[in-house]
Structure 1
Amino acid sequence: MRLLKRCWLGQFLMFTIAVGSLGMVFLVSQLSTDWTPGFIPKYRWLEYTYDHSCPEKECNCSAILQGDREALEWAKIQAITKDVRKNIQIPDDHYINTTQDCRSFKLKRKYLMFPLSKEEEEFPLAYSIVVHHKVQNFERLLRAIYAPQNIYCVHVDKKSKASVSSAISAITSCFPNVFLASQAENVVYASWSRVQADLNCMADLYNASTKWKYFINLCGQDFPLKTNLEIVRMLRALRGRNSLESENLPPEKKWRVSYVHQIVDGRIQRTKKKKDPAPFNLPIMSGSAYIVVTRGYIRSVLEDQRIHALLEWFKDTYSPDEHLWATIQRISGVPGSKRPNRKYDVSDINAIARLVKWEAHEGSQDSMGAVYPECKGNHVRSICVYAAGDLQWLLEQDHLFANKFDVDTDPIAIYCLEKYLRQKALADWK
């Protein structure tokens, strides 16, 4: 019974009506609306609901998103209290149990089981999600980006705990368009295995459907900054181009691709052996593991013999995911690519794939050298784990997704962001 008191299992009253040719069932509530201007009352049943024991429920998300100092201070204090941290914990077996009844699970979690617009229905997307822990983070991410016309491949690290693998498998089994990668990898940080995980999902997604237009890869601690409709419109505006970080390789990173690396005791290590030049004299670029690319780009990755040679060459480099996709983006003939000339360089700030706050580039508002304001949460591997105080700035940016979010660090940040996105999606429902 204790588990049934979790925030996301709040009770709500509803009744159903059949909807014409769609052959779908809509649930309609008589609840009144608030918070979002122009929000239509009959859509309220799809808005996220939480019961009275939910610790985040007391926060003023509207004020937080507007940067209200008092609301942010309250959220900061609440995020570190023992009661809040205890109540937000959801054990892995809870997902295994609740997904025994998939229909009930999807209803209670308010998954959108029909396209919200014809525009979205006609522009399906393909997602790769690489996960190794934190099932609650993954499930909330999936719910935030889920749409029935899209397709999702989930790669669970081979060395993940059995409970994590079982819980994620149980969640994915409830959706016909969400599936586990056909081949799981034992992912080692900064090694080729991270690339291989995405490659496995790329092949699975490419073979599973011919309809999707763009590929987006995520990890379990990403979260969207845009609704599905906004993402679709931004991708349409690319007009067949890709959006990913791709810049000239800086001198301080050349060692990554100049020496052979190998896995020793579960960690990647550099050897003294120098690597041969890249195939076809391709210029090695610097970028990010996260990309937004066309189906044609993925086809080239899977079929182009030049890229196959490049894949082999990258297998013994350090952090190849931060160089491979950026390098492919500058190869002639790859759909959506750009010339390798530095005038076509794209930084992480200008690529819409992912917004990351690197500790070294943070600074105060009046700092001339700072790329972005200081992190309001904490740092993991020099990356900001966002808190509620980061939300106003995040939502002002053009990026589709941001990294990193963590329920254990700041549950209110995710709560307010997911609530905002759902209400915005429903307000735009055509």
Structure 2
Amino acid sequence: MRSRKQSWCQLFLKLTVALGLLWTLFLVLEMQSSWPIDLTHRNHWLDYRDYDFGPETLCNCSGLLEGNTEALVEAKLLTITKEFQKHIHIPDEYYINETKDCRNFKSKRKYITFALSKEEEDFPLAYSIVVHHKVQNFERLLRAIYAPQNIYCIHVDEKSQASVKAAITGIVSCFPNVFMVTHAVNVVYAGWPRVQADINCMADLYKYSTEWKYFINLCGQDFPLKTNLEMVRMLRSLKGGNSMESEDMPGSKKWRISQVHQIVNGAIKSTGKSKSPPPFNFPIKSGNAYIVVTRGYIRSVLKDTRVQDLIEWAKDTYSPDEFLWATIQRIPGVPGSKRPHTKYDQTDMNAIARLVKWFSHEGSQDSAVYPACQGSHVRSTCVYGVGDLQWLLENHHLFANKFDMDTNPIPVFCLERHLRQKALAETEGQFFF
């Protein structure tokens, strides 16, 4: 009787061990099936291939990024051919149709739908993107900066074409962490609505999540110069500080804040009336529309009564986006701010928010801020050409403006391939469960 019991116990023990081994094997296989990357072919499906793009694939990106003269000449000749110009534009209807199958769209366009590192996963970012046209510019930008731990608020100008709204709405619908702004406005160049568009996204992002660390605002013609991991490390190094242009306003611009302005027939115009001084005698600083700021700074924009008074005062000025954020950055008590003393002034070249070539600062002389634009100009701003690529990557900025896929997609094409390859290389040896 005792031997029979022992036999049953031994059999039970063996079955338990066998079931345990089977369960362990099942868990391992299940984990492997959910790994974000096939470790044996890590870069196979995430890396960009030539068939993902149009005629710009004929250019030598490696040579262009190194400033190779032969590669530059070949690329410039390519861009002026009729065949090239004929095939570079992607119609809005393409995105409307493709995003009806989101799974296929994300796979085909090679979006990275998992965090590439624990370091990035633990440091989510919040983005505001203001768009009014050029859907393919927007989609290439979103793809380049997309990560599942980040969140993205998209503001499409109320007066944008119906096809633009439909295409962007379709793209946004494919991602759980990308959303359309709750309240869109009719954006007016150099008018208050441009600021209101960002504030509306700030409010939505602030409510959406308490986890994100930094806010970055973009427009549809921006493009990154750094990978997400590089951005995270650069933002950590700020140690809770903000980064943006903020310096004394030159005398030539003071009319913008000393005269009352109003929007008439979609354009900003002076009324000829004088404005009252700013509240609390805040020193108004000069800056630009694009900033890199902490969640605490956004809280001040939305809730600090001093900032609210400044916002109300700024609503009838000219181009308030070029002084409001810079002025808030110098208000004592605003998280990540600097004192208003000129010793704390920061230029756009020293800040990391945005790299822009302004026509008035370009040239070949030693006194020039940067070399001449190798593309074209829109409102005195350089639209980058292939000859600007090497210079762009030599700078420390997170983003650059401006790019135009409709006239020359090669700079974006080469930058996104460079950044994707770099991002994948950064993940070598890392995998997550």
Q: Structure 1-normalised TM-score?
A: 0.91
- Where do residues 232-381 of structure 1 align in structure 2 (5 Å cutoff)? 232-364=232-364, 367-381=365-379
What is the aligned partner in structure 2 of residue 403 from structure 1? Answer: 401
Question: How far is 1:23 from its partner?
Answer: 7.1
Q: Structure 1 or 2: larger helix share?
A: 2
Question: How far is 1:412 from its partner?
Answer: 0.9
For the 8 Å contact 1:95–1:167, the answer to whether it is kept is: yes
Q: Which amino acid aligns with 1:276?
A: S
What is the aligned partner in structure 2 of residue 8 from structure 1? Answer: none
For the 8 Å contact 2:389–2:411, the answer to whether it is kept is: yes
In structure 2, how many angstroms separate the alpha carbons of the residues matched to 1:346 and 1:205? 27
Aligned Cα RMSD in Å? 1.5
In structure 1, how many angstroms separate the alpha carbons of the residues matched to 2:328 and 2:133? 30
What is the aligned partner in structure 2 of residue 393 from structure 1? Answer: 391
In structure 2, how many angstroms separate the alpha carbons of the residues matched to 1:183 and 1:295? 21
Question: How far is 1:51 from its partner?
Answer: 2.0
Question: How far is 1:27 from its partner?
Answer: 5.8
In structure 2, how many angstroms separate the alpha carbons of the residues matched to 1:145 and 1:416? 15
In structure 2, how many angstroms separate the alpha carbons of the residues matched to 1:420 and 1:382? 28
Residue aligned with 1:144, SS? helix
Question: How far is 1:388 from its partner?
Answer: 1.1
In structure 2, how many angstroms separate the alpha carbons of the residues matched to 1:294 and 1:26? 30
Question: How far is 1:235 from its partner?
Answer: 0.1
Residue aligned with 2:190, SS? coil
Does the C-alpha gap of structure 1 residues 52 and 93 become closer, same or farther in structure 2, counting only changes over 3 Å? closer
In structure 2, how many angstroms separate the alpha carbons of the residues matched to 1:280 and 1:27? 55
Among candidates 17, 20, 24, match of residue 34 of structure 2:
24
Residue aligned with 1:425, SS? helix
For the 8 Å contact 1:387–1:409, the answer to whether it is kept is: no
Q: Which amino acid aligns with 1:59?
A: C
Does the C-alpha gap of structure 1 residues 290 and 53 become closer, same or farther in structure 2, counting only changes over 3 Å? closer
Among candidates 424, 427, 431, match of residue 426 of structure 1:
424
Q: Which amino acid aligns with 1:414?
A: V
Residue aligned with 1:408, SS? coil
CA displacement 1:340-397 (0-9 Å, x = unmatched): 0001000000010000000010011xx1210000100000000000011101000010
Does the C-alpha gap of structure 1 residues 21 and 282 become closer, same or farther in structure 2, counting only changes over 3 Å? farther
In structure 1, how many angstroms separate the alpha carbons of the residues matched to 2:245 and 2:34? 41
Question: How far is 1:26 from its partner?
Answer: 4.1
Q: How many residues are treated as equivalent by the alignment? A: 401
What is the aligned partner in structure 2 of residue 13 from structure 1? Answer: none
What is the aligned partner in structure 2 of residue 170 from structure 1? Answer: 170
Q: Which amino acid aligns with 1:374?
A: A
Report which of the two structures shows the higher radius of gyration computed on alpha carbons. Answer: 2
For the 8 Å contact 1:128–1:198, the answer to whether it is kept is: yes
CA displacement 1:81-135 (0-9 Å, x = unmatched): 1111111111101101000110000000000000000000000000000000000
In structure 2, how many angstroms separate the alpha carbons of the residues matched to 1:186 and 1:312? 18
In structure 2, how many angstroms separate the alpha carbons of the residues matched to 1:161 and 1:381? 22
Residue aligned with 1:128, SS? strand
What is the aligned partner in structure 1 of residue 93 from structure 2? Answer: 93
Q: Which runs of 5+ in 1 are unaligned?
A: 1-17, 31-40
For the 8 Å contact 1:377–1:409, the answer to whether it is kept is: no
Question: How far is 1:28 from its partner?
Answer: 4.4
Residue aligned with 2:154, SS? strand
For the 8 Å contact 2:52–2:109, the answer to whether it is kept is: no
In structure 1, how many angstroms separate the alpha carbons of the residues matched to 2:384 and 2:100? 33
What is the aligned partner in structure 1 of residue 62 from structure 2? Answer: 62
For the 8 Å contact 1:268–1:318, the answer to whether it is kept is: yes
Question: How far is 1:56 from its partner?
Answer: 1.2
For the 8 Å contact 2:375–2:382, the answer to whether it is kept is: yes
- Where do residues 78-89 of structure 1 align in structure 2 (5 Å cutoff)? 78-89=78-89
Question: How far is 1:20 from its partner?
Answer: 5.3
CA displacement 1:398-426 (0-9 Å, x = unmatched): 00000000112211111100000000000
In structure 2, how many angstroms separate the alpha carbons of the residues matched to 1:105 and 1:278? 49
What is the aligned partner in structure 2 of residue 156 from structure 1? Answer: 156
Q: Which amino acid aligns with 1:110?
A: K
What is the aligned partner in structure 2 of residue 4 from structure 1? Answer: none
For the 8 Å contact 1:115–1:148, the answer to whether it is kept is: yes
Residue aligned with 1:233, SS? helix
For the 8 Å contact 1:29–1:44, the answer to whether it is kept is: no
Q: Structure 2-normalised TM-score?
A: 0.90
What is the aligned partner in structure 2 of residue 35 from structure 1? Answer: none
For the 8 Å contact 1:358–1:382, the answer to whether it is kept is: yes
Q: Which runs of 5+ in 2 are unaligned?
A: 1-27
